[in-house]
Amino acid sequence: MSDLTVPSTAKAVSFSAYGEPVELRLTDTAVPKPGPGQVLLRVAAAAVNPLDWKLRRGFMQAVFPVEFPHIPGLEAAGTVVATGPGVDSWQVGDEVFGSAVAAYAEYALAEAATLAARPADLPVATAAGLPVAAETAVRALGLLDLKPGETLLVHGAAGSVATLAVQFAVADGIRVIGTAGERDHQALRELGAVPVLYGDGVFDRVREAADGQPVAAVLHTAGDGLLADSVALVGGPERVLTISAAQEAGPLGVRFTSGGDAAGAVEGLSRALALHAAGTLSAPVRTTLPLADAPTAHRLSEQGGGRGKIVLLP
């Protein structure tokens, strides 16, 4: 193992009981040591995801039980400060980003195989918010198996996952119609999508936007009660996919996808970096907050309504 001088303890945010954001507390915690295939990061930025507050509230106990105290955080950008056995892809001092474990902290572990080098001109806050959304977008598009020239409808197209899915799909030659509030329509146009206002009558507006062409598939990222009409729109459940409505999906035969793998994580970051290199990547950051303000970050995430990732800066 190679390493730099790393403290034995550092600041981290954790919760020791399910409940409100006030359960999140900044404490001194032992700095973990990287195991085989892992690196230790000095975290520069850690993004907030809906799963984080759902875990804190106890909504996911049946699927993702946690041990207390639990440090949230699924993704980060930072500097490699130590490498575990078998890691030769990264060196101490490398600037990286990707999936991480317990990332609401000054130091966090990450699997070396899921990381990517962070370009100097990619801000740490932007980089920290990319891994989960990019992997999910790649996984969803892969499952839908669209071909160039086909039309994809994306519900909740202004969200973080959907924003990347739109960009990846457009880059693949897929025509995209995206539902969103009017304030986000110009942003969707700039990404190459046809925006449609969500709400009552949305499917009539989608058909009008399709201009006589069939909608081949639907990616549902947000919104209630949309799956049945989505199935009717494409003629069956096979090419309707949701990342957010598992209970609604089941009775309709619609696929729900959650969780990915290292290969998908690497592909997602690779695709995002290709867009960045081309100067076209759009990955908004809604706000940045100090690590100690994690309760505020969770409140904002639960409220929804904002565009872009909420990012904590240790």
C-alpha span between 34 and 99 (Å, rounded)? 14
For the segment 136-150, what is each residue's pLDDT rounded down to a tens digit? 999 999 999 999 999
Does residue 94 register a pLDDT over 80? yes
- The kind and range of the H/E element at 19 are none
Does residue 52 register a pLDDT over 50? yes
Topology (CATH level 3) of domain 9-130+283-313: Quinone Oxidoreductase; Chain A, domain 1 (3.90.180)
For the segment 95-130, what is each residue's pLDDT rounded down to a tens digit? 999 999 999 999 999 999 999 999 999 999 999 999
- The kind and range of the H/E element at 109 are strand 107-111
Does residue 267 register a pLDDT over 90? yes
Is the Cβ–Cβ distance between 151 and 182 less than 8 Å? no
For the segment 69-83, what is each residue's pLDDT rounded down to a tens digit? 999 999 999 999 999
Does the model's pTM come out above 0.75? yes
Is the Cβ–Cβ distance between 110 and 98 less than 8 Å? yes
Across 14-38, average pLDDT: 98
Q: What pLDDT band is residue 1 in, cutting at 50, 70 and 90?
A: very low
> Are 9-130+283-313 and 133-256 equal in CATH topology?
no
Does residue 306 register a pLDDT over 90? no
CB-based burial label for 121 (10 Å; 0-12, 13-18, 19+)? exposed
Q: Is the dihedral of CA 242, 248, 249, 250 positive or negative?
A: positive
Across 272-288, average pLDDT: 97
Helix 262-278 with 160-171: angle, nearest 10 deg? 70
CATH classification for the domain delimited by 133-256, as one of 2.40.30.170, 3.40.470.10, 3.40.50.720, 1.10.1040.10 = 3.40.50.720
**Which residues are registered as beta bridge partners of 39?**
83, 110
Q: What is the pLDDT of residue 3?
A: 55
Q: What is the pLDDT of residue 228?
A: 98
How many helices (H) and strands (E) the chain has is answered by: 10, 15
Domain ranges of the chain: 9-130+283-313, 133-256
Percent of the chain at pLDDT above 90?
94
**Token duo for residue 21:** 């954001």
Amino acid at 267: E
Q: Tell me if the bond preceding 69 is cis, omega within 30° of 0.
A: yes
| Residue with more model confidence, 63 or 129 | 129
Is the Cβ–Cβ distance between 219 and 165 less than 8 Å? yes
